[in-house]
Amino acid sequence: MTPVSSAYQASLRLAVAPMMDWTDTHCRVFHRVLAPHARLYTEMVHANAVVLGDRARLLGFDPVEHPVALQLGGSEPQVLAQAARIGADWGYDEINLNCGCPSDRVQAGRFGACLMKEPALVADCVAAMAAAADVPVTVKCRLGVDDEHDYDRFRAFIDTVAAAGCRTFVVHARNAWLQGLSPKENREVPPLRYEWAWRLKRERPDLQVTVNGGIASLEQAQAQLQHTDGVMLGRAAYHDPYLLHRLDVALYGGTLRGRGELLRALRPYVEAQLARGVALKHIVRHVLGLFHGRPGGRAFRQILSEGAHRAGAGWALVEQALQATEAGPVAASG
């Protein structure tokens, strides 16, 4: 493996979670403006799709996204190895294996969270991926599946996979229930047990442990970082993206920029995409939460979500939405 960049090393402290349908390239470019140092993740892509599918569509990303990790789904070592090599050649800084997704579709394909039950297979996958790709191969997992609550078993999973060449684990600190819960419920119902991630870090100090699940404020993130190497935020980062900016400044330094200034920094990207024929709605759907809880936040969201669907919608609409947040207190109260 070639040595990792200092930017990648620094990004181990803060990450935005892989989220299907959400963390596409437009979303990641926006998050990069907000959080210059964070590690960004793609949506999960199945290894077969990477090997056989339209790579430009599945893997294409903007250079500003670095450091960016490609998350793969799958459970066939050789296919995952091919996909990992393709991802590394494509320029991804990290290849991550999904061992946490509980959906039925994923279970039918024997990947995602059900892999927690097959540590030896995950180890084979990781070993094959690490041999094929010259970037770090990491794993995102849960604490266990169903009603299995056994820390030693969780640590044995980690140890088996670490021995195969994985040094960084993202731990979504709850179980996945493979029966009876939707993926959404599986992100809410099984209780969070951060102590397991903390204990793992204490007992395996050489591993990089990133904790994920339910972290929704600067204070919570900072508290987690007393015990782990990194935090990964998913829903909170998406719905309240300014939190990402505050986190980046708190963890890495720099000056807080205003929401409007940050969004305007995205203008060259938006205009370049529009010129390529990308519709505005595909980009601005990710920025709707920027003024979450702020005066004019509802109007901002409404102007963008209604107007971006219209033919010919362009940057002027974004300015119009921003004006709703910059108006005086009376006009902005909606």
Ligand X SMILES: Cc1cc2nc3c(=O)[nH]c(=O)nc-3n(C[C@H](O)[C@H](O)[C@H](O)COP(=O)(O)O)c2cc1C
Strands (E), 125-199: 137-141, 168-172
* Smallest separation (angstroms) from ligand X to the CB of 219: 15
Rounded least distance, CB 69 to ligand X, Å? 11
Q: Is 71 annotated as a binding residue?
A: yes
288 makes contact with ligand X (CB under 6 A): no
Contact between 46 and ligand X (CB under 6 A)?
no
Q: Which of 87, 100, 190, 260 binds ligand X (CB under 6 A)?
A: 100
Residue from 193, 196, 231 nearest 211 by CA: 231
Among 101, 114, 141, 166, the one annotated catalytic: 101
The single residue listed with the structure tokens 């084979």 is: 124
Tell me how far, at minimum, the Cβ of 213 lies from ligand X, in Å: 5
Task: Compute the radius of gyration of the chain from its Cα atoms.
Answer: 20
Cα 86 from chain centroid (whole Å): 20
Binding mask 104-143 for ligand X (x = CB under 6 A): ------------------------------------x---
What are the CA-CA distances from residue 163 to residues 120, 124, 160 (Å)? 10, 10, 5
Q: Taking a C-beta distance cutoff of 8 angstroms, is the pair 119, 161 a contact?
A: yes
**Is 213 annotated for ligand binding?**
yes
235 carries a ligand binding annotation: yes
In the complex, the smallest distance separating the C-beta of residue 36 from ligand X, rounded to whole angstroms, is 20
Query: Is 99 marked active-site?
Result: no
- What backbone torsions phi and psi does residue 43 show, to the nearest 5 degrees? -65, 160
18 is in an annotated binding site: yes
Question: Cα separation of 8 and 30, whole Å?
Answer: 19
234 binds ligand X per the rule CB under 6 A: yes
Pick the piece of the chain touching ligand X (CB under 6 A) from 77-85, 102-110, 145-153, 229-237.
229-237
* Interface stretch with ligand X, choices 59-67, 97-105, 220-228, 309-317 (CB under 6 A): 97-105
Q: Measured between alpha carbons, how far is 99 from 143 in angstroms, rounded to an integer?
A: 10
Residue 149 among known ligand-binding residues: no
Binding mask 164-193 for ligand X (x = CB under 6 A): --------x--------------x------
Query: Of 1-20, which residues contact ligand X (CB under 6 A)?
Result: 17-20
Per the document, the length of the chain is 334
Of 71, 82, 138, 273, the residue at the interface with ligand X (CB under 6 A) is: 71
Residue 201 marked in a binding site: no
> What are 323-326's contacts with CB under 8 Å, separation 24+?
324/296, 324/299, 324/300, 325/259, 325/260, 325/291, 325/294, 325/295, 325/296, 325/297, 325/299, 325/300, 326/260, 326/296
Task: Note whether 214 binds ligand X by CB under 6 A.
Answer: yes
What does the angle CA 305 – CA 307 – CA 310 come to, to the nearest 5 degrees? 120
180 is in an annotated binding site: no
Peptide bond into 67 cis (omega under 30): yes
Name which of 184 and 276 has its Cβ closer to ligand X.
Answer: 184
Q: Six-digit token pair at 149? A: 């609550």
**201 is written with which tokens?**
């870090």
**Footprint of ligand X (CB under 6 A):** 17-22, 43-44, 71, 98, 100-101, 140, 172, 187, 212-215, 233-236
**Known binding residues for FMN:** 18-20, 71, 140, 172, 212-214, 234-235
Which sequence positions are flagged as catalytic?
101
